[in-house]
Amino acid sequence: ISKRSFFFSCFSRFSSSMSSNIDPVSLTLGLGLGMVLMASIRRLSTAEKAGLCNPGIMKDQPKVATMAKVKDVEDLLKEKPAVAYCRCWRSKTFPFCDGSHAKFNEASGDNTGPLVFK
């Protein structure tokens, strides 16, 4: 017997044997209230977990895609031993890392860090 058939056979047995004892208005109100409560809890818990990945960099753009030419990175590497690009979206020097991920990681429990070229 399939899961679907089993579910419907159990439901039909329940509905036929218990239908005289269940008030349809109470059942409808209970199910409706339960669904609203469940949706509210889910929305609150999702909002807390998700947050915004990008809190404020180039928000006037529909999508932020940062591009760097290999030549530009090579030129920067001639000046300093490493070049770090931000991946937490909180750097004041975006697209370069300024260490903001440390504070973000402590607050969020995340473990993000920069993309480093050497």
Q: Give residue 35's Cα distance to chain centre.
A: 22
* DSSP-derived secondary structure for 18-85: HTTTS-HHHHHHHHHHHHHHHHHHHHHHHHHHH--SSSSSSTTSSS------HHHHHHHHHHSS-EEE
Distance CA 110, CA 100 (A): 12
On the CB side of 95, CA atoms within 13 Å amount to 10
Active-site residue numbers? 63
